């Protein structure tokens, strides 16, 4: 599918299967989410630009590659996005973090923002927006609208599972934002859950109902 990268690394797929199982406990789910987010982060950052820097090893001077440009931003869509942050920050500890809380008003269909905190200079940074589930796409579409209003230009979206309906809506709203996911599932059910999915990601990681 154009604009969508499915991260099919065997370790990702193996961990995802365990996360999907209904008998997987909250503590295992959380640990697996941290592990899988590290692997997803590795893939979503695979083509970052490098620049050469002169350094000195204990033996000699050399030219060595180092990440170019301003620090990355990981933008978490509250609340489930936070579950992906920990593993990603382990891999990129210098990344900046944005938090976006949005919901879609059922009457006006407008995105209502209830929380927004982001680092400065969004226009000059690569922003990786994270939310485990791309279901209807409403919250990720709205969150990215809010980031764009604050200047964000270079954005990628990373999730664990995506529904075809959500991908369609998302790409209509943000054709410039590539999607990275570990799986494209079958469909959304009548309650907006991804099928076969893994249930409510926030509830499974935080042990709520
Ligand atoms: N959000 C979830 O946590 N799970 C779904 O299946 C859909 C949206």
CATH for 36: 3.40.50.2020
Q: Is 185 annotated as a binding residue?
A: no
As for the ipTM of the complex, it is: 0.95
Q: Is 167 annotated as a binding residue?
A: no
174-184 pLDDT, tens digit each: 999 999 999 99
User: What mean pLDDT do residues 49-57 have?
Assistant: 97
Q: Which residue from 16, 83, 84, 135 has its CB within 8 A of the most atoms of ligand 1, so it is best to mutate? A: 135
Instruction: Tell me the backbone φ, ψ of residue 135, rounded to 5 degrees.
Output: -95, -90
- pLDDT mean across residues, the chain: 95
139 CA to middle of ligand 1, Å?
Answer: 11
123-154 pLDDT, tens digit each: 999 999 999 999 999 999 999 999 999 999 99
Domain that holds residue 81: 4-206
Residue 177: what pLDDT? 98
193 CA to middle of ligand 1, Å?
Answer: 5
The band of 87, judged by pLDDT with boundaries at 50, 70 and 90, is very high
pLDDT at 16 over 80: yes
Q: With a 6 A CB cut-off, is 43 part of the ligand 1 pocket? A: no
Q: With a 6 A CB cut-off, is 162 part of the ligand 1 pocket? A: no
**CA separation for the pair 92, 56 (Å, rounded):** 23
The band of 82, judged by pLDDT with boundaries at 50, 70 and 90, is very high
pTM of the model: 0.94
Residue linked to tokens 């939310």? 131
**CA separation for the pair 187, 190 (Å, rounded):** 10
Nearest CA to ligand 1 atom 3: 200
Report the Cα 124 to chain-centroid distance in Å.
19
Residue 110: what pLDDT? 67
Quote the number of domains for the chain: 1
The band of 109, judged by pLDDT with boundaries at 50, 70 and 90, is low
């Amino acid at each position: 599918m154009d604009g969508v990268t499915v991260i099919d690394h065997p370790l990702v797929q193996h961990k995802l299967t365990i996360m999907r199982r209904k008998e997987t406990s909250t503590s295992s789910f959380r640990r697996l989410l941290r592990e899988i987010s590290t692997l997803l982060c590795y893939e979503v950052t695979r083509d970052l630009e490098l620049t050469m820097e002169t350094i000195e090893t204990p033996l000699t001077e050399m030219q060595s590659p180092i990440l170019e440009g301003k620090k990355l931003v990981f933008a978490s869509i509250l609340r489930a996005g936070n579950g992906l942050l920990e593993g990603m920050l382990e891999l990129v500890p210098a990344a900046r973090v944005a938090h976006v809380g949005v919901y879609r008003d059922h009457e006006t269909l407008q995105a209502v923002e209830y929380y927004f905190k982001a680092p400065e200079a969004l226009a000059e940074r690569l922003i990786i927006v994270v939310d485990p589930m791309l279901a209807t796409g409403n919250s990720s579409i709205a969150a990215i609208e809010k980031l764009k209003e604050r200047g964000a230009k270079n954005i990628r979206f990373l999730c664990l599972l995506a529904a075809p309906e959500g991908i369609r809506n998302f790409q209509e709203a943000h054709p410039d934002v590539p999607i990275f996911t570990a799986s494209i599932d079958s469909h959304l059910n009548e309650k907006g859950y991804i099928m076969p999915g893994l249930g409510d990601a926030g509830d499974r990681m935080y042990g709520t109902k």
